[in-house]
Amino acid sequence: MLKKIRVDSVLTLCCAFICGTLLIAGCGPAQVQTQRLIPENINVAKSQAGSVQIKVTGGHTGHAMQMPEISDEMFVKALETAVAQSKLFQEVAKGNTGDYQISANIFNLSAPFWGRAPVSLEIAWQLFRKKDATLLWREAIVTSDEGFGDSGDKSYSKVGAIESAARKNISLALERMSALDIALPLK
């Protein structure tokens, strides 16, 4: 014999199913923009001679719940642009060429799923001289952002906080690399 199902239970299940489907199907938050990851002003102590290759790992391209994320490809583009604009190195090399390699491993992006908590981004940076595979510099840099923008805006933006934390991280890494004494050895 069939049991009676309460109408309010069916409505609750239907609403939960519809909300979950909409969230997973793409009615989620705005996405991170590559151009907004590039720092505007980087304080470069000195430019380094030679060319540099950029390698990024640890980024993500999609999340089942449509959380804003940074992909390897977008971080590479942002980092290449930042290095070129700052003139940290003479040239940004394409492919597997270059005198040096900057390696960035995005290994912790902490953003709230709900609510207005700060966003934290941790990236492990390495700078190698490719000719002899010498590690010249290594540091894990943690940056964060509250998500309310630089202009004192009172509205929270998780995407804006992620972009800001990435800009700060790139800026700090390039500033620290510019202080190194890494002159290429004579050939």
**Strand 100-110 and strand 119-129: pairing?**
antiparallel
- Apex 163 CA angle, 157 and 167, nearest 5: 140
What's the CA angle centered on 125, arms 119 and 129, to 5 degrees? 165
Q: What is the CATH number of the domain that holds 144?
A: 3.40.50.10610
In a domain, 10, yes or no: no
Dmax over CA atoms of the chain, in Å, equals 89
Report yes or no on 53 lying in a domain: yes
Predicted local distance difference test score (pLDDT) of residue 26: 40
Per-residue pLDDT of the chain (187 residues; tens, 9 = 90+): 455 556 566 556 655 555 554 444 344 557 889 999 999 989 999 999 899 999 999 998 765 455 678 999 999 999 999 999 999 999 999 888 999 999 999 999 887 777 677 889 999 999 999 999 999 999 999 999 887 766 565 667 888 889 999 999 999 999 999 999 887 554 4
Q: Considering the domain boundaries, does residue 11 fall inside one?
A: no
Whole-model pTM: value is 0.78
Residue 104: inside a domain: yes
Query: Within a domain: residue 2?
Result: no
Residue 51 belongs to what domain range? 47-178
Number of structural domains the chain divides into: 1
d(CA 105, CA 76) in angstroms, rounded, equals 11
Q: Is residue 170 part of a domain?
A: yes
Q: Is 79 exposed, middle or buried (0-12, 13-18, 19+ CB in 10 A)?
A: buried
Residue 70 lies in a domain: yes
Helix, strand and coil content of the chain, in percent to the nearest 5, comes to 30, 25, 45
15, part of any domain: no
